[in-house]
Amino acid sequence: MINWADIDTVLLDMDGTLLDLHYDNFFWTQHLPRRFAEIHGGDHDSVSAQLMDRILSERGTLNWYCLDYWSRELNLDISELKKEVAHLIALRPACDQFLEALKLSGCRSWLVTNAHRDGLNLKLEYTDIGRWIDQLISSHDFALPKEDPKFWETLQHRHHFEPSRALLIDDNIQVLDSAARFGIGHLLTIAQPDSRQPPRSDLAYPTLHHFDDILPIPTPQEQPAE
């Protein structure tokens, strides 16, 4: 699936790629409506429907991912509410083995996420994935979501990598489309971002079920001589 000799830089999404998307889906569709109704009042079902309509209206924009934005919009401390269900934060299968192998391979490993820094820091605290990753990059640092091709231009300008020798792994098809238009040379997506939902099929990009699909990764000593 991947010829690792062609890869210098691995760009890794977080939610739904390295981490199980169940945590985020549960928070936004179940925990947040319940806590909103408890704090502000209202019928749970009607609150849930109204919240989903409001949230979905921002899909694909930076606001969709911005905890500060939703805290202002909903008059709630979203970062604190996310901590209430942080026990649901979990790695996807074979994620830790993959990240360790990637670290030993000599490839640069960059976390490139749309997550707000508060959410990113919470997940780093619970999973310790930062110890394997060379760069931790949030799209909020650029004020552009990954769905915008200008995000990738800005990333290359600030961090300097060769797009044709980069691998992006991301569960978001719109993000992969954006990266493809920019010129990222190697693209993979995830079959089952949320462990509580059925796997996806007939996707437009080569698809991982688990990270052991692309293991082992050769170390520099194991790379064939040129």
Of the listed 6, 43, 45, 141, which one is catalytic? 6
Chosen domain end from 67, 87, 107: 87
Q: Is residue 157 a contact partner of residue 128, using CB atoms and an 8 Å limit?
A: no
| 145-195 pLDDT tens trace | 999 999 999 999 999 999 999 999 999 999 999 999 999 999 999 999 999
Q: Which pTM value belongs to this model?
A: 0.95
Q: Are residues 162 and 112 in the same domain?
A: yes
* Element (DSSP H or E) covering residue 138: strand 135-138
Q: Is residue 60 a contact partner of residue 175, using CB atoms and an 8 Å limit?
A: no
Q: Are residues 53 and 131 in the same domain?
A: no
Chosen domain end from 87, 110, 134: 87
Q: Are residues 99 and 124 in the same domain?
A: yes
Q: Are residues 151 and 94 in the same domain?
A: yes
Q: Is 170 a catalytic residue?
A: no
Token pair belonging to 76? 């709630």
Could you tell me where the DSSP H helices lie in the chain?
22-26, 32-40, 44-56, 62-65, 67-74, 78-83, 95-105, 117-127, 149-159, 173-182
Q: In whole angstroms, what is the distance from residue 168 CA to residue 177 CA?
A: 11
Chosen domain end from 87, 115, 132: 87
Q: Are residues 12 and 31 in the same domain?
A: no
Tokens 């000799």, residue located: 5
Q: Are residues 65 and 114 in the same domain?
A: no
Looking at the predicted structure, is the pLDDT value of residue 83 above 80? yes
Domain that residue 215 falls in: 4-20+90-222
Cis preceding-peptide flag for 93 (omega within 30 of 0): no
Averaged pLDDT of the chain:
96
Total count of domains within the chain: 2
